[in-house]
Structure 1
Amino acid sequence: MIALTQTTYMQESKVDLLGLMRSPGFVLPALLFPCAFYFFFGVVFKHDASGASTYLLVNYCIFGIMGPALFNFGVHVAQDRETGSLTLKRLSPMPPLAYVMAKSLSALCFSLLICSLLFGIALLGTDVTMSASQWLGLLGTALLGTLPFCGLGLWLGLKLSAKAAPAVVNLVYLAMAMCSGLWVPITLLPESMQTFAWLLPSYHLSQLALSVLSMHQGHPIGLHLIILSAFAIAFALLASHQWRKLY
C-alpha cells in the first residue's frame, strides 16, 4: 500500500512537470522575465552603487520564484477545474494531496532552475561575490519561500474561473513585486507604500533573503519569519476551505 502511494505521488509529479515543460506559454515567461530583467538592470545598466548587483540578484531571485508557484497553481488549477480534469482526479483513487504536492514540486523545480540561471548571470556578468554559505542560504531561502505562494496560487485557482485566472494572477504577481521593493529598493518607494509592503508575503521573503547578506532594512529576522509563516498557514487554510466547498 505504501509503495502504491509513493508510486502515485511520483507519477503525478512526473506528469505535472512534463506538462509544464511542454508548455512554452509557461516556460518562456517563467524563465526569461527574471533573467532578462536582471541581465538588463544588473549587467547592462550597472549601477555605480556598491553592492547594487548583489541586491538586485536577491530581489530578482524572489521575483523569479513567485511566478511558477502562482501560475502553476493559480492558472492551471482553474483550467483543470473547468475542463473537468480536477474532478476526474478527485473521483480516482489518487490521494488529493498528490495533486497539490505534484504542483508544489514542479514549482520548486522551476524555482531552482530560475535561481541557477540568475546565479550564472551574476557570476559571469557582474562583480557579485558571496561565500558558499551565502549562495546556499540565498538559494534555500528562495526555495522555501515558494510555499506561501503555492498556497496563495491554489486558493486563487480554486476561486477564479479559467478566463479570469491569468489576468488576476498577473495582477497579483506584478503588484506584489512592485509594492515589495523587488524592482526598486523599498526605501525609494513612498512611505505609504513602504507601510503597505508589510501586508505582502513577497516583502517579508525579500527581507529574509537580503538578511543572508546583511542587506535587509534591519527589522528583526524572526518577525519576518513569523509573518511569512502566518501567511503560509493562512493561505493553506483558505485553499483547504475552498477545496472543501467545491468538492
Structure 2
Amino acid sequence: MRNLAVYQKEAFYDVLSLSRTPAFYLPALLFPLVFYVFFGVLLNYSGNSSSYMLVSYLCFGVMGPALFNFASAVASDRVQGWLTLKQLSPMPLSAYVLAKYFSSLVFSLIIALTLFVVAAVFADVQLEVWQWASLLAIALLGTFPFALIGLLLGLCFSDKAAPAVVNLVYLPMAFLSGLWVPVMYLPSGIQFLAPALPAYHFSQLSYAVIGAQQSASLWGHVLYLVAFSALLFAAIAWRYNRLYK
C-alpha cells in the first residue's frame, strides 16, 4: 500500500505540474482542435470526410503529449540533476516513468473527448457507441510507442535541444504517415516510406474503426507497433546504462 501511495502521489504531482505549464498544455490541446475545426468543420462542405479527419487529428493530437512530456521533462530533469536525485531517493524509478505516462494519458484523454464533442455537435459525425469507445481505446493505448520515443529523446538530448528535436520528429512523421493528407494522395516515394513509421500503423488501426483503413492486415499493424516498442525498450535500456551505470 505504501508503494501504491508513492505511485499515486508522483502521478498526481506530475499532472499538477503540467496543468501549471501553459506552454505545454495550450499547444497540446489547441493544435489538433483548431486543425479539426478548420479542416473538418469549416472547410468540409460535403460533410463526407469529417469522420476521417476526426481520426486523423485524433491520432495527431494524442501523439503530442506523449512525445513532448517525456522528451522535455526527462531531458530537463536529467540535465538539472533531478533524475539522479530521484534515483538516490527511496522512490522507485518506475514511479517517475509511470507518472509521466499517466499525465500524458490524462491530456490525451482530454484531447480525444474534446474532438469527439466537436465532431458530434458541429460536424454531425455519427458513429456507433462501440466505434467511439474503440477510437478512444486505440488512441490511449497507441500513445505507448510515442512515449518511448519521447523517453529516448529525453535521455539523448539536452533540455534546450529536446523540444526542437521532437518537433523535427513529430511533424514530419505526422505528414509522412498520412495524418494531414491521406497516404494515397501523396507521392509514390512517400507511400513507400509510410509503412516504416509508427504513426502510420497507429493511424491505420484507428481508420479501421470507421472502415477507412488502407490495409487489411490489422494484426500486421499491431505486430509492427509491438516490435517497434521492443526495439525502443532496448535502445532506452542501452542509453540509460550508458548514463547511470
**Alignment partner, residue 184 of structure 1:** 181
* Structure 1 position 80 matched with structure 2 position 77: yes
Q: Which residue identity is paired with 2:206?
A: A
* 1:132-147 to 2 correspondences below 5 Å: 132-147=129-144
Separation (CA, whole Å) in 2 of partners of 1:53 and 1:6: 42
Say which SS state the counterpart of residue 27 (structure 1) adopts: helix
Question: Please, which of 10, 35, 38 is the counterpart of residue 36 of structure 2?
Answer: 38
Question: Please, which of 195, 199, 202 is the counterpart of residue 196 of structure 2?
Answer: 199
Cα distance, 1:48 vs structure 2: 2.5
**Alignment partner, residue 234 of structure 1:** 231
* 1:10-25 to 2 correspondences below 5 Å: 10-25=8-23
Separation (CA, whole Å) in 2 of partners of 1:181 and 1:48: 21
Cα distance, 1:49 vs structure 2: 6.5
Separation (CA, whole Å) in 1 of partners of 2:84 and 2:216: 45
Q: Which residue identity is paired with 1:246?
A: L
**Alignment partner, residue 25 of structure 2:** 27
* Structure 1 position 212 matched with structure 2 position 171: no
Separation (CA, whole Å) in 2 of partners of 1:62 and 1:153: 16
User: Residue by residue, what CA displacement relative to the aligned partner does 1:101-143 show, whole Å, maximum 9, x if unpaired?
Assistant: 0000011111000000000110111121100000000110010
**Alignment partner, residue 219 of structure 2:** 222
Separation (CA, whole Å) in 2 of partners of 1:192 and 1:48: 30
Pick closer, same or farther for the CA change 1:192–1:219 going to 2, 3 Å. Answer: farther
Q: In 2, are the aligned partners of 1:47 and 1:53 still within 8 Å (CA)?
A: no
Separation (CA, whole Å) in 1 of partners of 2:175 and 2:158: 25
Separation (CA, whole Å) in 2 of partners of 1:241 and 1:96: 16
Q: Which residue identity is paired with 2:33?
A: C
Say which SS state the counterpart of residue 211 (structure 2) adopts: coil
TM-score (structure 2 length as normaliser): 0.97
* Structure 1 position 4 matched with structure 2 position 2: yes
Separation (CA, whole Å) in 2 of partners of 1:205 and 1:56: 15
Q: Which residue identity is paired with 1:75?
A: S
CA RMSD of aligned residues (A): 1.0
Q: In 1, are the aligned partners of 2:47 and 2:123 still within 8 Å (CA)?
A: no
Separation (CA, whole Å) in 2 of partners of 1:205 and 1:199: 12
Cα distance, 1:47 vs structure 2: 4.4
TM-score (structure 1 length as normaliser): 0.97
Say which SS state the counterpart of residue 46 (structure 1) adopts: coil
When structure 1 is superposed on structure 2, of 134-143 and 216-225 the one drifting more is 216-225
* Structure 1 position 65 matched with structure 2 position 49: no
Say which SS state the counterpart of residue 239 (structure 1) adopts: helix
Q: Percent identity?
A: 50
Separation (CA, whole Å) in 2 of partners of 1:14 and 1:127: 36
